[in-house]
Amino acid sequence: MYEFQYAKPSTVADASTTLSADEANQPLAGGQTLIPTIKQRLNAPGTLVDLSGIGELTGITREGSTIVIGAMTTHATVAANATVRDAIPALAKLAGGIGDPQVRNIGTIGGSLANNDPAADYPSAALALNATIKTSTREIPADDYFQGFFTTALEPGELIVSVAFPIPEQAAYGRFEQRASRYPMVGVFVAKTASGIRAAVTGAGQDGVFRCAELETALTSDFSAKAAEAVKVPADDLMSDLHASADYRAALIPIMASRAIAGTA
Amino acid sequence: MPTVTMRVNGAQTSADVPENTLLVDYIREHLRLTGTHVGCDTSQCGACVVHIDGKSAKSCTRLATQCEGSEVLTIEGLAAPNGTLHPLQAAFKEAHGLQCGFCTPGMIMSTLDLLQTNPKPTDPEIRSWLKGNICRCTGYQNIVKAVELAADEMSGS
Ligand SMILES: Cc1cc2nc3c(=O)[nH]c(=O)nc-3n(C[C@H](O)[C@H](O)[C@H](O)COP(=O)(O)OP(=O)(O)OC[C@H]3O[C@@H](n4cnc5c(N)ncnc54)[C@H](O)[C@@H]3O)c2cc1C
Ligand code: FES
Ligand code: FES
């Protein structure tokens, strides 16, 4: 590890001040992605700004027809939370399937969405549910937030404060796990929302999470496991790596969507 | 150099450590509690699992400074002061839940967390919980048996 400084502010304003003082300064949430990259010397922070002392970043509330989750809320908390389980059970299930129990005890929703790993679980839920990412300076709709491989609309120094998920009429998540990394090789989140049927795919796209038009069209006329399974997804922009070819991932997308809807994923 | 202070196995501890000190290095190098192991540098093996404020976590993926003021429990904190093994330790011994023993402290600290919230886990629940703990020796069968045995012992059935 390179040397770095450490700060633990207690307000978003103080964190933002430290972060904007030097572009090498970085927010530290659960550290389940950041600390491994620092250990590998792939990242050399100036000051790590630990967000865990900022009270306004935690908590889960229901505000009318949305569920608002603070950025520092852990995956284990979301998975076990009665409000989330009641309103969006698919989201609780997604959180409860991330990595392993120790990662879920420490890793956070804000860290996951800020990182936007092309194989992370949460981006699929945020995109399919048409979530709004609330930051220290503005509100960003999910459709504008995800901008490609490990890339988001966040400006340097901008902090995710919370994520607001509109409660869908129905939603389901299915993931095919890559056993060694524990990340999804393909994860599909489907939802019946106020703005229509939305289906988002993670783990498969070369540019990270994406909405799958073929699935959305088929599920709009028939929201069923059978309709999902019959969909053909083109392999053109999908990832090929040591785990699976683009064709294999393309074949898995309708299967994961179908199993998600059938409740067998 | 910041001073970090935390309770480890019930005792107050403190040391001046560089900011980039991992919790596992604080435990092993500063406190000389070497039961907590390091088996990888990718946060995937679980040999380093301890409890931080009552929840299992990878001590290789936590900075010592992040644990300022925390309550930490390591494998050394499980047996009674007179040496009587904790039921999980006794069950791993009884059921041959280990061969080389390298993964065992992490296995035990991880499954202790499981049994705290789910006192009678099923076989699939134990296996799913152990996703974050890798064993190169046993093939897991006897680890699962040991956890079942400890669950029976601890819940008195
Ligand atoms: C063994 C293992 C398996 C895993 N498996 C999965 C998996 O199956 N699925 C999955 O989705 N993830 C998986 N993860 C990743 C895990 O979910 C991480 O917790 C998550 O990606 C990052 O969250 P964090 O809180 O740990 O963030 P950190 O590691 O602290 O931060 C990640 C990045 O986000 C930035 N950041 C953090 N919080 C904010 C904020 N509020 N505002 C702006 N920027 C911020 C940081 O500066 C950093 O760049 C796995 C990790 C490990 C180690
Ligand atoms: S040493 Fe491997 S997960 Fe911590
Ligand atoms: S007993 Fe040897 S690694 Fe598990």
Residue A242 sits in a domain of what CATH number? 3.30.390.50
CB contact (8 A) between residue B61 and residue A36: yes
**Structural domain contains residue A100:** no
**Structural domain contains residue A37:** yes
The answer to whether A209 touches A118, Cβ cutoff 8 Å, is yes
Alpha-carbon distances, residue B99 vs A135, B39, B92, B104, B138 (angstroms): 50, 15, 10, 9, 6
Report all structural domains of chain B as residue ranges with CATH numbers, in order of start.
3-77 (3.10.20.30), 87-155 (1.10.150.120)
**Structural domain contains residue A127:** no
Task: Please state at what angle helix B87-94 crosses helix B141-155, rounded to 10 degrees.
Answer: 140
Question: Which residues 6+ apart lie within 8 Å of B119 measured at CB?
Answer: B151, B154, B155
E strand or H helix that includes residue A225: helix A225-229
Question: Which residues 6+ apart lie within 8 Å of A184 measured at CB?
Answer: A119, A121, A175, A176, A177, A178, A202, A203
Report residue A24 as tokens: 């090498």
Residue A180 has pLDDT above 90, yes or no: no
Q: Which residues of B touch A49 (CB under 8 A)?
A: none
Task: Tell the residue nearest (CA) to atom 13 of ligand 1.
Answer: A99
Smallest Cβ distance to A39: which of B41, B49, B133? B41
Q: What is the pLDDT of residue A181?
A: 87
Taking residues A20-49, what's their average pLDDT?
A: 96
- Which ligand is nearest to the Cα of residue B105, counting in written order? 3
Residue B157 has pLDDT above 80, yes or no: no
Inform me whether the C-beta atom of residue A7 falls under 8 Å from chain B C-beta atoms: no
Question: By residue range, what is the domain housing residue A183?
Answer: 168-265
How many angstroms separate the CA atoms of A239 and A249, rounded?
Answer: 8
Task: Tell the residue nearest (CA) to atom 38 of ligand 1.
Answer: A111
Provide the domain count of chain A.
2
pTM surpassing 0.90?
Answer: yes
Per-residue pLDDT reduced to its tens digit, B21-47: 999 999 999 999 999 999 999 999 999
Strands B3-8 and B71-73: parallel
The answer to whether B108 touches B50, Cβ cutoff 8 Å, is no
What percentage of residues in chain B have a pLDDT greater than 70? 99
Per-residue pLDDT reduced to its tens digit, B113-142: 999 999 999 999 999 999 999 999 999 999
**Structural domain contains residue A114:** no
**Structural domain contains residue A78:** no
